[in-house]
């Protein structure tokens, strides 16, 4: 989970439904953060640029204003599938799963709801800092297990 300033807030090794990509989370270094950010940022930029319904397109690589452009929701390789959701407030939720998993957009929304319930409503949590909240961890963990 990534916030509006693109700082990593929280991550999970979602064992039950990932098979091949566990290593990504384990060896997650500063460079990997950068890579992930670059990947998502460019993909968003490209998808907006490709949009045939919109005539006013910014230049590639220029950050977009809220409400501008469009975005992708997942991509798939032969070994994994990455699902992505960005809320208008800039919270990004990324799930890496087995390539055969179906549409996860509803699940991402559900996780966003969990985030609201357990993180933003937690008075001890300072917005923008890494999430260290047991209740959130366990509830996401439980939820992710039901998806498997």
> What span, in angstroms and rounded, lies between the C-alpha atoms of 104 and 91?
17
Indicate which single residue of 78, 127, 134, 146 sits in contact with another protein (rule: CB under 8 A): 127
Take residue 16 and report the two structure tokens written for it: 């039950």
Tell me which stretch binds another protein (CB under 8 A): 9-17, 49-57, 75-83, 103-111.
103-111
Take residue 53 and report the two structure tokens written for it: 């319904």
Please report whether residue 37 would count as binding another protein according to CB under 8 A: yes
Take residue 98 and report the two structure tokens written for it: 């087995």
Residue in 131, 130, 135, 132 with CA at minimum distance from that of residue 118: 135
**Nearest distance, CB of residue 145 and another protein, angstroms:** 22
Indicate which single residue of 10, 80, 112, 143 sits in contact with another protein (rule: CB under 8 A): 112
Q: For residues 20 and 80, is the Cβ–Cβ distance under 8 A?
A: yes
Please report whether residue 103 would count as binding another protein according to CB under 8 A: yes
* N-to-C CA span, the chain: 20
Q: For residues 21 and 101, is the Cβ–Cβ distance under 8 A?
A: no
Indicate which single residue of 91, 93, 104, 144 sits in contact with another protein (rule: CB under 8 A): 91
Indicate which single residue of 15, 42, 89, 129 sits in contact with another protein (rule: CB under 8 A): 89
Positions 43 through 82 that interact with another protein (CB under 8 A): 62-67
Residue with tokens 């939720």: 93
Contact residues: another protein, CB under 8 A: 4-7, 34, 37, 41, 62-67, 87-91, 103, 105, 109, 112-113, 115-116, 120-121, 127
């Amino acid at each position: 989970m990534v916030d509006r300033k693109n700082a990593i807030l929280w991550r999970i090794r979602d064992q039950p439904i990932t098979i091949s990509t566990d290593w990504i989370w384990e060896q997650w270094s500063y460079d990997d953060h950068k890579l992930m950010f670059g990947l998502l940022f460019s993909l968003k930029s490209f998808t907006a640029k490709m949009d045939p319904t919109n005539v006013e397109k910014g230049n590639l690589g220029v950050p977009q204003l809220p409400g501008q452009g469009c975005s992708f929701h997942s991509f798939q390789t032969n070994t994994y599938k990455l699902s992505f959701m960005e809320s208008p407030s800039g919270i990004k939720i990324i799930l890496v799963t087995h390539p055969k998993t179906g549409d996860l957009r509803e699940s991402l929304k559900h996780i966003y709801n969990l985030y609201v319930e357990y993180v933003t409503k937690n008075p001890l949590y300072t917005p923008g800092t890494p999430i260290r909240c047991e209740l959130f961890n366990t509830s996401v963990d439980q939820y992710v297990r039901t998806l498997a």
